[in-house]
Chains A and B, each alone.
Chain A
Amino acid sequence: MPPHNPEIPKLTEHLFRHEAGKLVSALTGIFGIRRLQLAEDVVQEAMIRALQVWPYYGVPDNPAAWLMQTAKRRALDMLRREKLFQEKQPEISASLERLPDDADGPLFEEEIRDDRLRLIFTCCHPLISQEDQTALALKTLCGFGIPEIASAFLTSEAAIAKRLTRAKQRIQDQGIPFEIPAGNELESRLDGVLHVLYLLFNEGYKASNGESLVREDLCHEAIRLGSLLAAHPAGNLPKTHALLAVMLLDAARIPAREDDEGNILRLKDQDRTRWDRRLIGAGMMHLARASVGTDLSEYHLQAGIAACHCTAPDYADTDWPRILAHYDRWVEISASPIVALNRAVAVANVHGPKAGMDAIKAIAKPEQLETYYLFHAVIGDLEERLDRRMEAAARFSKAMELTGVASERSFLEERQRACETNTPFRAGKHKGPSRTA
């Protein structure tokens, strides 16, 4: 029996997933984007090799370097044995040999920094549909498996597999390049990338039922990719920092969003000591870096609002006038009725529920909100504050019909009942769904 190391070093959480993303980028840089699948296969084989031998021989001292070397060796073997890239084989072998052995070291990070960014820009190319972009990014950049992506997007594995095939086909057919765009193109392409990260984050941030773990991972992956972007000269722009600030400041509040039974807690009912101070600090730092220059994106305004919440000692002492000022500017540059709805909430908090109702009535295209459960929940809340309890109850029940999330539904049901029976609503005491359901 081989000598066994009894002191198994504990692997960093998500190490494999994170290394998978890095290694796929580095190998795609060498094989070319048309061989993305080959890069993915080689990395998968290196991971499986670890699964086959580490339990017997122990975890190596530098697991990331081990994975790197194994992937490299496997790629070289394949080149020789399967006669891939015949005309360019010596070149490709030489590039593989040049990859640094320490995949966790600063040298490697430096080397593949550009490749990772290239892959981000490839995955978020406008010729690929947005839903395919998010699936492809999760698969190749973040090392997610198909079942994991499916559960994050609450869809079937077959649907995700289809999206991935379609996206890869698109890369082939359209000859989508593996490069960081330059010049005028960079700005608009960067907007596309930021938008995909924003979608990823929101997908994870949305309240869900029973899948909270995977979905929270989406938030952290979006933050990781955003940080990569912000640290690269091509992505280091105020709006990138603004988006990062939004994501960090929102993510900081995730631990307080639900009580121990999995019930949703409103902002005003949250235990603010559970907010993640480290993420808030990082968010404020990026907000400061977003504030250089004259660029004012929607992310800036959203980050400004999140910062007001994160720095307020409690709900009542929140700087609502400042939040409202951010919303006022936001509705100027955004036609989204959802932004207008959120502004109405801020209006109500500054000028009272009557003014909030007026702001809702003034929304330009309210019909777009009719099927949005929060539209009815917000009106219900205002009706309740105006002491029109039956109207409020009707709105809560309409909102209940429109949400598919069980914990949201039970929250609304409780509020509806409180209105009907004329009892005060007690936060966090309603019966929520069980986490395992």
Chain B
Amino acid sequence: MNNYNNPNGYLLLFRGTDWHKELSPEEIQRIMGEWGSWFDRLEREGKLAAANPLENEGVTISGKARAVADGPFAESKEAVGGFFLLTVETMEEALAIGKECPALPYGLTVEVRPVAPACPVGRMLKDVEATALA
């Protein structure tokens, strides 16, 4: 795992749209509150560049024929239910934030992905620099 500084930030993808099915209203209210405070704190600290929930529906387009298929992603373990685009610059910090997700104990998974820089040469230069300094 590269821990180079990445000025483009990190994306947290929240996977799973079925983990909340069996929750009771009381639990839903509690997790909702925890998630809200987590969100607010990150926002206050200036660590969120963007964040949105996604609808459980949509279409997929594929192939040369540009075939459009209904993608009812409802209730699947893999479907993305929302994302945070973090402004943090290291994997370490992005991971630490991802681990705070209050829905992890209930089966949601958090995927942490570095956002690639616009110019890959820039990154290669950085890697060379880092190797040279090491």
Please, how many angstroms separate the alpha-carbon atoms of A404 and B25 in the complex? Answer: 30
From A4, A17, A146, A147, B29 is in contact (CB under 8 Å) with A17
Q: CA–CA, A145 to B20, complex, Å? A: 12
Q: How far is the CA of A59 from the CA of B26 in the complex (A)?
A: 16
Q: Please give, as numbers and ranges, the residues of chain B lying within 8 Å of A16 by CB-CB distance.
A: 25-26, 28-29
In the bound complex, how far is the Cα of B32 from the Cα of A50, in angstroms?
A: 8
Q: Please name all residues of chain B whose beta carbon is closer than 8 Å to the beta carbon of A50 when the two chains form the complex.
A: 28, 32
Which secondary structure characterizes the binding site on chain A? helix
In contact, A51 and B22 (Cβ under 8 angstroms): no
Binary contact readout A228-272 vs B (1 if CB under 8 angstroms, 0 otherwise): 000000000000000000000000000000000000000000000
Does A1 count as interface, using CB distance less than 8 angstroms? Answer: yes
Check A54–B32 contact: CB distance below 8 A.
yes
Q: Is the CB of A147 within 8 A of B24?
A: yes
Cβ of B53 under 8 Å from chain A: yes
Residue B115 interfacial (CB < 8 Å): no
A315 lies within 8 A of chain B by Cβ: no
Interface flags for A135-146 (1: CB within 8 Å of B; 0: not) read 000000001111
Cross-interface CB contact of B36 among A20, A48, A55, A146, cutoff 8 Å: A55
Partner of B52 from A2, A51, A144 at Cβ < 8 Å: A2
CB pair A52 B82 closer than 8 Å: yes
Asked if A55 and B39 sit within 8 Å, CB to CB, the answer is yes
| Given A4-B43, A11-B33: A56 in contact with B28 (beta carbons within 8 A) | no
Task: Name B56's closest neighbour in chain A (CB-CB).
Answer: A52
A52-B82, A56-B52, A145-B23 given; A8·B29 CB < 8 A: no
Query: Using a CB-CB cutoff of 8 Å, which residues 47-102 of chain A contact chain B?
Result: 47-48, 50-56, 58-59
User: Please, how many angstroms separate the alpha-carbon atoms of A235 and B20 in the complex?
Assistant: 37
Chain A residues positioned under 8 Å from B44 (CB to CB): 6
Does A14 lie at the interface of the complex (its beta carbon under 8 Å from any beta carbon of B)? yes
Nearest CB on B from A179, distance (A): 26
Whether B104 is near chain A, meaning CB under 8 Å from some CB there, is no
On chain B, the residues within 8 Å of A147 by CB distance are: 24
B9 close to A (CB within 8 Å): no
Residue from the list B28, B39, B49 in contact with A47, Cβ < 8 A: B28
Do A143 and B43 form a contact, CB below 8 Å, given A50-B32, A56-B53, A59-B36?
Answer: no
Q: Take A11-B33, A56-B52 as given contacts and tell me if A51 and B28 are in contact as well, using a CB distance cutoff of 8 Å.
A: yes
Docked CA distance A222–B43 (Å): 41
Contacts of B22 in A (CB 8 A): 145-146
Indicate if A19 sits at the interface (CB-CB under 8 A): yes
Count residues of chain A with CB under 8 A from any CB of chain B: 30
| A4: B residues at CB distance < 8 A | 39-40, 43
A143 with B25: CB separation less than 8 A? yes
Contact partner of A144 among B26, B40, B82, CB < 8 A?
Answer: B26
A148 at the interface (CB under 8 A from B): yes
Contact with B along A145-181 (1 / 0, CB 8 A): 1111000000000000000000000000000000000
Q: Is A316 an interface residue (CB 8 A)?
A: no
User: Which of chain A's residues has its CB closest to B38's CB?
Assistant: A55
Bound CA–CA A58/B33 (angstroms): 10
Give B72 Cβ to nearest chain A Cβ, in Å. Answer: 11
The answer to whether A55 and B32 touch (CB under 8 A), given A6-B40, A145-B23, is yes
A15 within 8 A of B: yes
- A145 with B38: CB separation less than 8 A: no
Whether, in the assembled complex, B81 has its beta carbon less than 8 Å from a beta carbon of chain A, the answer is yes
Q: Which residues of A are found within 8 Å of B36, using beta-carbon distances? A: 8, 54-55, 58-59
Residues of chain B lying within 8 A (CB to CB) of residue A17? 24-26, 29
Q: How far is the CA of A11 from the CA of B81 in the complex (A)?
A: 24
| B51 / chain A contacts, CB cutoff of 8 Å | 1, 56
Partner of A143, one of B24, B38, B40, B49: B24
Contacts of A52 in B (CB 8 A): 20, 53, 81-82
Contact assessment for B53 and A8 in the assembled complex, using a CB-CB cutoff below 8 Å:
no
- Complex interface: chain B residues within 8 A of A2 (CB): 52
Residue of A6, A20, A59, A146 near B25 (CB, 8 A) is: A20
CB neighbours of A1 from chain B (8 A): 48-52
Least Cβ–Cβ distance between A224 and chain B, in angstroms = 14
Q: Which of B1-39 contact A (CB under 8 A)?
A: 20-29, 31-33, 35-36, 38-39
- Contact indicator per residue, chain A 1-31, by CB within 8 Å of chain B (1) or not (0): 1101010100100111101100000000000
In the complex, 7 of the A-B residue pairs with CB atoms within 8 angstroms, ordered by the A residue number, are A14-B29, A48-B28, A51-B31, A53-B53, A59-B36, A145-B23, A146-B22
In order of increasing CB-CB distance, the 3 nearest A-B pairs are: A145-B24, A16-B25, A55-B35
Apart from A19-B25, A51-B28, A55-B36, 13 more pairs, CB < 8 Å: A1-B49, A1-B50, A4-B40, A16-B29, A47-B28, A48-B23, A51-B32, A52-B81, A55-B39, A144-B24, A145-B24, A145-B27, A148-B24
